[in-house]
Structures are given as C-alpha cells and as structure tokens.
Chains A and B, each alone.
Chain A
Amino acid sequence: MAQTQERETKLTCRNVWKVYGSDAGSFFPGGNGAVDDPDALVERIRESGNIGAACDVSFDVHEGEIFIIMGLSGSGKSTIVRCLSRLVEPTAGEVILDGENLLKVSKEKLIDIRRHKMGMVFQNFGLLPHLSVLENVAFPLQVQGIDRAARVKRAMEMIDLVGLSGRETSYPRQLSGGQQQRVGIARSLAVEPELWFLDEPFSALDPLIRRQMQDEFLRLQKMLHKTIVFITHDFLEALRLADRIAIMKDGRVVQIGTPAEVVMKPANAYVEEFTQDVPRVKVITARDIMSQAGKPLEGAQTVAPGTTLEQLMPRFGEGLDAVAVADESGTVVGHVTPQAVLTALATAHEEGSTL
C-alpha cells in the first residue's frame, strides 16, 4: 500500500528454504535458493523423505512496520522467524538486514547483531527461572558486559514501560502468564533493538489477557516505531495488529497483503476459509475503497484514510452522498460513497478492482 511503500526496506527474506533431512543440502548447489521451478523441487524434497519446513519464502519487511506471519501449526512460521535470526540455520536463500546478508556473516558478527539489533519474545516466555524479573530484563545487557549500574537503570526503565514496577525482585514462577510475558517483552526491548521478533507472544495467554496485551503492544509500537516480525496462528489477531500479513501453509507463503487486501481478495480457497467469519466492517478502511478519480467535493466531510467502515457508516446514515478522504496534511486523496461501502461488504471478491 501507499503508506508502506514509502518506507525503506529493513529486512529482506529472499528464497529462503529450510529442509530437514540427511541430504538436505544436496537440493541447493551453492546454497542458492532461487530455483527455477520451486513447486517441482518441493515435490522432489517430499518424495525423497526429507521435510521441507520452509520452502522458497520471500518477503520484505519495511522500516517501522508490523509484519505478521500467520499460519496454523506446522505451516513453517516459527521456522521462518528462526531463520531470520539464524536460531535455525536456513538450508538455502538469503536474509538481508540493512543490506547485509545475515547468512554470510561470521558467528561472532551474528552474536554482535543479536546483541544490538535484535530482540525476541517467545511463546512460552523463555524466562530464566533462576533470575529475578530485574535480572532477567538486564540479562541481554549483562552478556554484553555493560556495567551493573547502567544495566539496572535501563532494565528499570523497561520494567516501568511494560507496567511491572514493583515486581523487580519477584521470580518468574511467582508471576502470572501475562506478567511473565511482560517481562519477556521488557527483556527483548532492553537492548533497544531495531528489529523486534515476536513468536506467538500472546498465544499462551487467556483470551482476556491476550486482548489487553495486544492493546499494550500497539501502545508500545506507537511510542517505539520498531520494525516488527510477529508470528501468530490467530487470524483475527493478525488483522488487528498487522500493517501487512503473510499467510503460510505447508512451509510456503500463500499470500502477502494488508489486512483489507487479504480479507477482500483472498488468494485462494485456503485463505478464504479464514476470512469467512471476519467482521469486514472492522477491517476494511476508507483507504481501501475510496475512488481516487473525480473532482473534489465541495463542502463534504473529511475522514482519515484509516477510518473503518464501522466508523464510516453512521455518517452515511445522516444522509451524506459521499465523504472526502484526507491524509494527515489535509490534502484530499479521494472520496467514498455509500455504494462503495455496500459493494465492499457484499462481494469483497469483485470489489478488488477498486483497490
């Protein structure tokens, strides 16, 4: 979308493969993941008894964007996020961070990158059971060799940021799941990473807590503007949080797009299944259905591009023919008619042409 295209690319995942099996490397002479016929290769890998956990995965993540990889268990989403940080060594392909291929850097350099550029939140929190909250959050700083006073100060700030002040001396087992994940978040942010990985961070939490944590996450991102790769199996969570979503199935990326694109124009029947029960009024925004052509409407009400249909509809209820869509600077970039809203809600498929 227009908004994201303006941003610079932070991280590129290009033709990444992760194949498990004794002769995994033999499929990729020279570690080159850009094969001519990926479908045929996937088939060959399967027939040879190897397991293709991630196959020919490519995407770009832009500066400051929340990029969500969504897929069910076994779809390869956790594998791919681990390939990005080389927790799992990809079999072939390239992972380019700030113009540098991560798969080519030395172990030492990788550790350095992890220490300064990356932070990660884990599904089951991954807290160190023998350390207090404060020590856990300060741990990444400690392994860097930052002196005690500085790391305590920084850790305290992070603990405050996630709202856990007062629990610094508690141990992980004394905290609830939600609190533990707050510690996990604080720890992942302690090194001020540019790239923030979250691997199903809220999946182990109760639905109510999950909702709270999602709000918390959005609040943090508003302040911090990190580049985020977020893994989830929950489609609604993806729609709620994402700037863009990549949907994975059987190790392959099925579709990449904004929430509205995915909902209104599912790439195949598999994606469509997910979109069935999605409340479109909450996903589709004015930006998605506005017509850019035409003369400016005189005296029309203006709305922001991110206004959802749910928020738009009451205005049409007042009898308006159309509303203008204006960006942050006040420039009108298009307009939306009631017909456009109805069409978008009725047949998302055919409405694709307006995108």
Chain B
Amino acid sequence: MTVAAQEQGSSGFSLGRVSPQLVSWLVFGVFAIACILLREEMKWLVTYPKEWFLKLPIGGEWVLLEKALEGLMDWITLTFKPVFRFISMVLTYPMRWLEGLLHWLPWPATFALVTILAYRAKDLRLALFCLAGLSYMLIVGYWDESMSTLALVGMSVPLSLTIGLVMGLLAFQYRWARRIVEPTLDVMQTVPTFAYLVPILILFGVGPVVGMVASAIYASPPMVRNVMLGLRRVSDDVIESGEMSGCNRFQLLFQVRIPAATPTIMVGVNQTIMAALSMVIIAAIIGGFADIGWEVLSTMRKAQTGQSLLAGIVIVVMAMMMDRISRGFTERTGDIPLRTGGNFLQRHPLLWAAVAATGIGIVLSHLVPFFKDYPDALVFYPAEPLNDAVSWFTREFFFATDAVKTWTLYYFMLPMKAGLENIARPQSWGFSMTQTTAAIYWAVVLGLGAGLVRLFGWRAGVVVGLLGVLYFFGSTGTPWPAFVAAVTLIAYQVGGWRTALFAFLGMAFMLSTGAWPRAMLSFYLTATSVLFCFAIGGALGIWAAQSDRASAVLRPINDTMQTMPLFVFLIPVIMVFLVGDFSALLAIMMYAIVPAIRYTEYGLRNVDPVAVEAARMMGCTERQVLWRVKLPLAIPEIMLGLNQVIMFALAMLVIAALVGTKGLGQWVYDSLTNARFGQGFIAGGSMALMAMIADRIIQAWAAQKKRDLGVD
C-alpha cells in the first residue's frame, strides 16, 4: 500500500522521460504490494519454510548445513585434537609462568616498572596517571585480577605482533600472499568477536589459552594492515638511496624499508594492543580464569551493579594506560640526542632505575608485609554505597528515564521490530489498528511521500515508501521476497550487478540456513541504532566542525570511547535501564556514535576552502554555507562514516546479546556457551554477511557520489 502511495506520488508528475531506475522501482512496488496482499493466503511469504533450507548430500543423505558443519568440526576435533591440545599445552606454560611472575612480583616493583615505562614513553604526567591508575587497582582490591588480565594481554600481544608482521611482510613482498591476506582481513573485520571464540573453544578446550589464541588472532589484522601500509608508503627516494648504497634485498628490507616504515607500524602496534585487550576481556565469557573481565561479567549477571562498575573502571583505566603508553612510544619524535659518550649506565639511566626499583621492591616486600601483599584491611571497596547511589538515582529519576525508555520503545523500536499493525494499543498509541486507522496511516505516508517527491525527486518517495512499509509491518513482518528484492535492487542501482549478486547470495544464505528471522531482529536493532547514531552523531559532528571549542571537547572523549573494550559500555546502561532492547540500543549507540561524529566533522572541515570562500563572496549566510555548500560536498565522507557506524553497531550487537537482546548476536553467544560450531558459523557468517552487504552498498554509493562531485 505504501508502495502504491509512492507510485501515485511519483506518477502524479508528468516526467518528460521516465528513468529506467524509476521504472524498476515501480515494478518492485507492484511486487511488494502483491506480497503484502497475499501474505495471509501464502504463509511462506513471511516465514521462509523449513523444507527449503539448504541441504548438502553427505554420505548418501541430505544434511542441513548446520549439521554438516557440526560433523566437519567433530571430524577435525577428533582427528587433530592431539595437535591442538599440544599447542594449547605449549602455550599454557609461558602463560602460566607470566601470570605467576606478575602475581609474585611485589606491587611496589610493578608500580615502579610501569611508571618508569610511562615516563620513558611520554612524560611525567603520563607517569603520574599510571601511578594513579595502578593505585586504584590496588586499593579497590582488584590487583590479582588485573595482573591475570595483564598476563593474558602480555602473552597474546607478542603473538599478534609476530603474526601481523610476518603476514604483512609476506603480503607486501608477494602478490599471491596479498591475494589471500587482503580478503581475509576484510572478512575478519566483519566477523563478530564471539564467533572467533567458538571454533577455538572447541579445538583448544576450556581455559585461558582460548582467550589468548582468540585475541592473538583477533588483534593481528591492524598490525598486518599497518605493516603493509607503512612499507608501501616509504618514499621512492629513500628506497632508491638504499639501492644506490648497494643494499641487497635483505638489507633493503630490514635496514631501509622496515625502519623507515616504523612510525606507521607503531600505529599498528598500538591498535593491536587495544584489540588484544578488548578480546581478552570478551573471552572472559568462557570463564576458567580469574581475570578482570570475568569479574565484570559475573557481577553483571548477578545484577551487582556497584561491583561491576568498580571492576569496569579497572578495565577503563587499564585500556587508557595501555593506549597512552603505546601511543607515547609511537608519537615520540625521537628528539632524544644520541648519547655516544659515557658508559652503559650513563646512557640508559631509566633502565637502571627500573632494575634498581624492582630490586628494592622485592627486598622491601620481604621486610615489610605491607609491600608484599596489600593488606585486605586497607582495601576500599565501595560497592554497597555505589549500589545505594544507583538505586537512589534510578528511583529519583525513574520518571525521566522511564519516559525516555518508553517513548523510544513504543514509538520507534517496537514498530520497527514487530510492526505498528501488531503493537498499536489504546494504552500506548491511543488507538488500536483498525481498517480506519490503517487507512489514515497510509494516507499520511502517501501525503508525506508526495511532498518529498515534489521537493527532492522520486528517490525520496522510494525511501518514504520503504520506511513506511517497515514501520507498519515491522522488520519481522515484512515478506522476505519483498525485502530481498528491495535490497538487491538498491545494490544493483548503486554498485552494479556484482554488488547486487553478492547481496542476493548473502541474503539467500541467511534464508536457507534458517538465520533469517534472527537476522531481521538484528537488522531492526542495528538499523534503529544507526539511525539514532546518525541523527545525534551527525548533529554533534556539525557542531564540532563549526566550533573549535566543541571539537576540542569531543575529540578526547571520542578517542577514549574508541579504545574501550566493548564490554565496558554495557555497565552504565544496565545500571540505569536494566536489561532489554533499549539498553542494547544505548550501548550500541555509545560505541557506534563515535565514527558518525568524527566523519561528519572531518568531512565538513575538509571541504575545499575555495568553494566555501566563493559561497561567502556570493553573500551566503553561515547557515547557507553549511547547508548548501559544505554538507553536500561532505556527503561522500559522511557516507564512509555511516559505513563505520554500521560496522561498529554490528560489532557491539554481539556484545549486547549479554543484556538480553534477541537476534543473531544472541545466537552467536548461545552457540558459544553450548560449543555448537554449526550454529556459531551460520550466525557469525550471517552477521559478517550483513556487514559486508552494507559495506559494499555504501562504499559504492560513496564512490558514486565522489565521482559526481568530482572530488575523487
């Protein structure tokens, strides 16, 4: 019916020449209406029938893909189990050793080492910050847990860096390696974090090694990318000067290329460390290791908000420390004068200070018990007061928070999920869905569509039509043939038949493996979050682009948000809003809003200044400059921001499964807790496919826009 609206809206104008694109949308409109009208008679239009699921002929039998994958994994496990258990054992030893060392090391020694490292990396301020952060861990009583987490990170980071360096070098040197590595990286980027854990868990068995291996794999892509990028970016002059100095291949690589690429590679190191920490925290979900992630998770499950907040702060502090120290080393300009004179001790005073401090710390810990183990009596653990404060807050502001939650849920989330036709009730909407109200709804959609067509052309009408259908029937109630057709059509018109084919096959995979209903739930939550992120983040981005002060305020916040392990975002949200879709929405938004802000600001600030000057000279007001010149020109950049928002939202969606959402994220999580590879593969694969379809469509769209604007 909406499509009818849009159809009439557009055909109401006498278009001199009807574009083939418009015709295809009109045809689609007829198809969609047919689907909607026939959905009562033909149930399969809404629910994809089980009989049509993909089956593989294995051993003379037709087996569902999920079961086939399960069988494959069983076979691999059975066949290679000794190998993986052996690797697991080999990795466990250094892991346990490092953990033991960090626990044995008296805290004053650790304090001194980290502080000196921070000072070496940057300055006294960072050193003091680290001192404060460590003190927090100690005083709150999370020292042992923190050290366990540190041990996991400390083991997985070198592994990641080695994998990353080797892969990056290979991909840089050999075309065949690049052909394998680049698409692999693209896929890895979109596979949800939990999905990594499933096969590793099955192969390696429960234990800290799973977290370590998972984060080693998860954290290597940024290293690979930056190694490749850095090596590629070394200027020709430098390479040629190396060649003319008579370097052989080996010397050219290790004495010229790699050192010259070091700044970029160090950026990779920083990103890898942060990713490893994030994954280590997530891997706590498997359990079996008393680290800080486990502490957050278990307290969160018991709804001990105060406790989980205190533990969550440890993660935040740890992330900030790791980020700033590693970034300090990256950004250090190297203006330290080359000390050629003096003996070894004079040349490396900090090294000796570190050794001395460790020694003193160890000696002290034997003399004074206080320095050995921080006494329990001095632990300050304000969980109860925090709980009280939180419940006071929620009680006191219940009406405000509840109003926001209810409003968003009833007017936005629920219709997008289940459809207005199913959720309109007199107590929430003031009416129930009857023939009359439905007619009024469609009349409104039709009017709105017609108005927008007049203002912005037929494409606006198509958008209104699609949103109208989605809102009325909900993402779960929309017939899948119409949905698939719409996405495929968009993909075709934006990116050509390859993109369309990819989108179609991706959706076919979700349908034929039974992931579709869950995918639609994920789609609804992602789409809603992305829209909210974009509205709010776009506004903030515009503000930051117009005002330097706003930019200065937002930037450090964005930077910090970006480095946080995803887990952390859940804590404040469930404290106030408890579990549910709304909390998931907020958690996703907190994380995914960052690129919306950043890319909008970046796009606006990087608009060709000549165009802006020209506009000013023509007498545009600031508002006109923004709306008529800057925003249109910044659209390609903003599109890329949208792309990132979607990727971030999908990444967070899986984590949000922990606060009780339904959909693919929850399915992945479920497969993890039950160690079901087939289900994990299908759910994780579906999420990756969703991300990749969105990515390809938006990238193609941005590229098209760029071409149109001539700003390539």
Contact = CB atoms under 8 A, between A and B. Distances in A.
B238 A127 contact: yes
A112 B337 CA distance: 34
Given A111-B246, A112-B246, A128-B260, A122 B334 contact: no
Given A128-B259, A130-B262, A143-B246, A87 B340 contact: no
A114 interface: yes
A140 B252 CA distance: 11
Of the candidates B244, B260, B338, the one having the most CB atoms from chain A within 10 angstroms of its own CB is B244
B243 interface: yes
Interface string B209-240: 00000000000000000000000000101111
A143 B241 contact: no
Interface in B600-631: none
Contacts of A126: 235, 237-241
A171 B240 contact: no
B247 interface: yes
Contact of B260 (A130, A134, A143): A130
Contacts of B262: 130
Interface string A108-131: 000110111011101111111111
A73 interface: no
A187 B241 contact: yes
A301 interface: no
B248 interface: yes
Contact of A127 (B241, B247, B248, B337): B241
A214 interface: no
Contacts of B245: 114-115, 139-140, 143, 187, 191
A172 to B, nearest CB: 10
Nearest to B263: A129
A114 B242 CA distance: 10
B283 interface: no
Contact of B244 (A114, A130, A173): A114
Given A87-B243, A128-B241, A171-B334, A111 B248 contact: yes
A144 B246 contact: yes
Nearest to B338: A169
A285 interface: no
A125 B239 CA distance: 11
A85 interface: yes
A173 to B, nearest CB: 8
A141 to B, nearest CB: 9
Given A126-B235, A128-B259, A119 B244 contact: yes
Contacts of A188: 244
B639 interface: no
A145 to B, nearest CB: 10
Contacts of B340: 169
A53 B611 CA distance: 37
A125 B237 contact: yes
A122 B247 contact: no
A132 B260 contact: no
Interface string A304-324: 000000000000000000000
A111 B340 CA distance: 31
Interface string B635-668: 0000000000000000000000000000000000
B26 to A, nearest CB: 44
A191 B259 CA distance: 22
Contacts of A122: 237, 240-241
Contacts of B338: 132, 134, 169
Nearest to B237: A126
A174 interface: yes
B247 to A, nearest CB: 5
Contacts of A174: 335
A129 B260 contact: yes
A120 B260 contact: no
Interface residues of A, number: 37
A13 B392 CA distance: 88
B251 A128 contact: no
Nearest to A133: B338
B335 A171 contact: yes
Contacts of A132: 338
A174 B338 CA distance: 13
B408 interface: no
A129 B233 CA distance: 13
A134 B340 CA distance: 12
Given A114-B246, A129-B260, A143 B255 contact: yes
Contacts of A191: 245-246
Contacts of A115: 245-246
A120 B334 contact: no
Nearest to B334: A171
Contacts of B259: 128-131
A87 B242 CA distance: 11
Contacts of B445: none
Contacts of A127: 238, 241
Contacts of B240: 82, 87, 120, 122, 126
A126 B247 CA distance: 14
A82 B243 CA distance: 11
A169 B337 contact: yes
A132 B334 CA distance: 10
B237 to A, nearest CB: 3
A128 B261 CA distance: 10
A124 B247 CA distance: 19
Nearest to A122: B237
A123 B244 CA distance: 14
B241 to A, nearest CB: 3
B554 to A, nearest CB: 31
Interface string A58-88: 0000000000000000000000001001010
Interface string B9-51: 0000000000000000000000000000000000000000000
B470 interface: no
B35 to A, nearest CB: 51
A134 B243 CA distance: 19
Contacts of A125: 237
B482 interface: no
A173 B334 CA distance: 10
Interface string B491-519: 00000000000000000000000000000
B241 A114 contact: no
Given A128-B256, A169-B337, A143 B247 contact: yes
A201 to B, nearest CB: 11
Interface in B236-285: 237-248, 251, 255-256, 259-260, 262
Contacts of A82: 240
Contacts of B335: 171, 174
A85 B235 CA distance: 18
Contacts of B237: 122-126
A120 B251 contact: no
Contacts of B238: 126-129
Interface in A165-182: 169, 171, 173-174
A104 B251 CA distance: 23
A114 B239 CA distance: 14
Interface of A: 82, 85, 87, 111-112, 114-116, 118-120, 122-132, 134, 139-140, 142-144, 169, 171, 173-174, 184, 187-188, 191, 197
30 contacts: A82-B240, A87-B240, A87-B244, A114-B246, A115-B246, A122-B240, A122-B241, A126-B235, A126-B238, A127-B238, A127-B241, A128-B242, A128-B256, A128-B259, A129-B260, A130-B262, A130-B334, A134-B338, A139-B255, A140-B245, A143-B246, A143-B247, A143-B248, A144-B246, A169-B337, A169-B338, A174-B335, A187-B245, A191-B245, A191-B246
Q: Which 7 A-B pairs have the closest CB atoms?
A: A115-B246, A126-B241, A126-B237, A140-B245, A169-B338, A120-B244, A130-B259
Given A114-B244, A122-B237, A173-B333, 11 more contacts: A111-B247, A120-B244, A122-B241, A123-B237, A124-B237, A130-B262, A143-B245, A144-B246, A169-B337, A169-B338, A191-B246
Interface of B: 235, 237-248, 251, 255-256, 259-260, 262, 333-335, 337-338, 340
